[in-house]
Amino acid sequence: MLEVKGLVKIYGKQMAVDHIDFSLKGGEVVGLLGPNGAGKSTTMKCIVGLLRKTQGEVTIGGYDHLSVEAKKLFSYIPETPSVYDLLTVEEHLQFIAQAYGIKDWKPIAEELMYTYDLLDKRKKLGRDLSKGMRQKVSICCALLTNPSVLLFDEPMIGLDPKAIRNTKKIFRELKENGKTILVSTHLIDSVETIADRIMIMKDGKIIGNDSLDNLRSASSSGVYTTLEDLFLELTKDE
């Protein structure tokens, strides 16, 4: 469903993404982990076409990632949510619905606003929203289009405990509905239970890509009981 081949992104002289290859099958949920600066956000931005890749090939559902066909298949929730200053919460949802030609979007929008405690903020302008509220609007907009592939970059950052719990629940529901999800996170436990596979990035490279159980047994001593221990072992500096 998502195929990345030989992806490279160079900023000036810095190789932020260094020839990475991976793919996600339809319905797979994959957690993307890695220390600050590993290249997770850069990878995601290249996939969704927000950053121009230096080299490589990316396809989504078999289509080149920059094609309109591919764009209809995925949603992206950026690390820093950006909202339109002069649109209200509900106008954001209306705008997305119209841009994607979604009929009968209103009940879905209502439910999303309910889930994310935005019903009483529906008339608030984007510029007057708190960071967490912006993040919630961004998630609602992403879910409204019912995409097959979702790319979440640190979705839990800035959310309150209730919204974190709801987002985890939504992840499980999306997984049950066969969606393909790539989620980058530092909150390791937030993906531990739902991820079919974990990819660990460091210095622009993927240094681990397997199921949690396999990663555990492959790591030097195999005694890592938590993903956190394993993560720290794999990403430690030599």
Q: Which residues bind ligand ATP (CB under 6 A)?
A: 11, 14, 16, 34, 36-42, 79
**From the list ligand ATP, Mg ion, none, partner contacted by residue 38 (C-beta under 5 to 8 A by kind):** ligand ATP
| H or E element in which residue 217 lies | helix 212-218
Shortest distance in whole angstroms from residue 79 CB to ligand ATP: 6
| Beta-strand relationship, 29-33 and 180-184 | parallel
Shortest distance in whole angstroms from residue 42 CB to Mg ion: 8
184 vs 33: CA distance, rounded Å: 6
166 vs 205: CA distance, rounded Å: 32
What is the residue whose two structure tokens read 């929730």? 77
Shortest distance in whole angstroms from residue 41 CB to ligand ATP: 3
169: how many CB neighbours lie within 10 A of its CB? Answer: 11
Residues 31, 34, 41, 81: which binds Mg ion (CB under 5 A)? 41
116 vs 127: CA distance, rounded Å: 18
Report the residue number, 14 or 98, with the smaller CB distance to Mg ion.
Answer: 14
Shortest distance in whole angstroms from residue 85 CB to Mg ion: 24
Report the residue number, 40 or 216, with the smaller CB distance to ligand ATP.
Answer: 40
Site residues, Mg ion (CB under 5 A): 40-41, 79
